[in-house]
Structure 1
């Protein structure tokens, strides 16, 4: 009987560890070139999404803001009152990156279109998407994808 309990305990421990990796303050990204984490703040309410990273003069390395749009929808961002250059990573409901806008210019009012079915947008310091090879097809893991058809579930 102990032979059956040990594998069950190992599986439970492993599964619990995998779930523990998903936290509201962190996203993980992976593709053929890399796997990395970013610490994030969530912007879920309309008020949080409208203020975003405005008026901040810096963003710590490997940090960002994750904007959530439920249900998925057409989104566009601008850089009004944003003081730091950003990369914007647009993600669909499955957690797949659909597009990346690199180097959004601080203060620019030009709309940055994300597409028609955007579920989330990750904003990070400009240049990091290219440095880490984040591009269309990169997969994201975060607990916001737990209710949908996630490619890389928690």
Structure 2
């Protein structure tokens, strides 16, 4: 029962209000949906090589409904590590249409082991470690964000 209660609290913390579904996409917001429901995260964009290299390093905290969205110009193989990262993270690897293809849960702070997201990755959303599992976010979930463009499985204009 504690897990179910925790899941509800997490969903309430990260989800949009009923009117949010009517809102347009914004660069500082990433929305996710799936059979588990829908959630919104306030995000920082990492869309330059310098921003992607720094990521969430040296951060001591990350608000529960926040994250960082890494955006690549072209899809490819994505690999991350946790050097100088102080908080555990979930990494959601996302293809060109906004579909989550892989989730790496609870990456260990400071660990230098490469975390391979696979081929065809165009975006990576980092959120607090354990949150994806608590909410039910997994492969097949859909991300909505302006960076995805016209081929989005869940377009901004919906």
- Please, what TM-score do these two structures have when normalized by structure 1? 0.86
**2:62 aligns with one of 54, 59, 62:** 59
- Please, what TM-score do these two structures have when normalized by structure 2? 0.84
- Cα distance in structure 2, aligned partners of 1:144 and 1:128: 23
Displacement after TM superposition at 1:21 (Å):
2.2
Question: Which ranges of structure 2 fall in alignment gaps of 5 or more residues?
Answer: 1-20
Tell which structure's C-alpha radius of gyration is larger.
Answer: 1
Superposed counterparts of 1:73-152, under 5 Å: 73-147=76-150, 149-152=151-154
* Paired positions, count: 136
**Structure 2 partner of 1:43:** 46
- Cα distance in structure 2, aligned partners of 1:137 and 1:126: 19
* SS of 1:47 mapped into structure 2: helix
- Cα distance in structure 2, aligned partners of 1:53 and 1:27: 17
- Cα distance in structure 2, aligned partners of 1:31 and 1:46: 30
**Structure 2 partner of 1:23:** 26
Question: Which ranges of structure 1 fall in alignment gaps of 5 or more residues?
Answer: 1-16
Pairing 1:71–2:100 present:
no
- Cα distance in structure 1, aligned partners of 2:100 and 2:79: 16
**Structure 2 partner of 1:9:** none
- TM-align CA RMSD: 1.1
* SS of 1:95 mapped into structure 2: coil
- Cα distance in structure 1, aligned partners of 2:25 and 2:102: 23
- Cα distance in structure 1, aligned partners of 2:94 and 2:131: 16
